[in-house]
Amino acid sequence: MRPIIIAANWKMNTTPADAGALAAAITAATNEPEVVRVICPPYVSLAAVRDTLRGTDVGVGAQNVHAERAGAYTGEIAAPMLSGLATWAIIGHSERRRDQGEADPLIGRKLRQCLDHGLRPILCVGEQLEDREAGRAESVVRDQLRGVLEAAGLTAAEGASELVIAYEPVWAIGTGRTARGADAAAMSDAIRGALRENGWSAAAAEGCPVLYGGSVTAAAIAEFLAEPGIDGALVGGASLKVDEMAGIVARAAMTARARREAGGAAH
């Protein structure tokens, strides 16, 4: 059974002075052992969050890594530098694709760095509004996955044990437009189909967790977790609010228990 994962992407928010307190408050409000919880603060707050979460079952993630392991890249952070600070990393986020012009071959190299240096990657994929309106949303996401996986040289065995994919409908993030559970469910099917097309076995593709990441809130999350193909969420703005995170993780725990019980009954 796939895990249920709630990953908090704090983006460019918090400082080392306040990040630890926020991480502690979220951890206390989301004590659900059946949900994999990850907090991804800015680089400068990683140590504070790591220290706060030591001894808990909440993971720490980076919001990005560089595509090279070292070199003359002023201001960048390489995967080996995160050893001891984080065990997860977000790569290919829609904001980095938009603002830094990151393309699939570069993101694939970042994926390889994560795998080579002990970081579990949350790979973001998703289509723009014009792609959806033109009826090519699924083909865009399939192409993104193919480009990233090829650039990473990812084997099915590596991916099956490590890769998490977050679907971001870019057209529904901060625009007032709303994605539906059915949209996310259809895309989760397309994502797993793309994995099979790239050489994954049916079992490996089916075992890959797919998260939803589009303006997630406690009020909206139930619709997405009701879809069997969606295994949690990559939470943005709401992840800075303790009450929102408590509601999101509580609903995720309900989903995890229901799926576990259904799986047990099936056997």
Give the pLDDT confidence of 52-94 residue by residue, as tens digits.
999 999 999 999 999 999 999 999 999 999 999 999 999 999 9
Reference 169, options 147, 198, 194, 191; nearest CA is 191
CB contact set of 15 (below 8 Å; sequence gap of 6+): 44, 45
Please state the pTM of the whole predicted model: 0.96
| CATH topology classification for 4-266 | TIM Barrel (3.20.20)
Residues serving a catalytic function are 93, 168
Give the pLDDT confidence of 216-260 residue by residue, as tens digits.
999 999 999 999 999 999 999 999 999 999 999 999 999 999 999
Give the pLDDT confidence of 107-165 residue by residue, as tens digits.
999 999 999 999 999 999 999 989 999 999 999 999 999 999 999 998 888 888 899 99
Token pair for 237:
């703005």
pLDDT value for 35:
98
Where do the structural domains in the chain lie, given as residue ranges?
Answer: 4-266
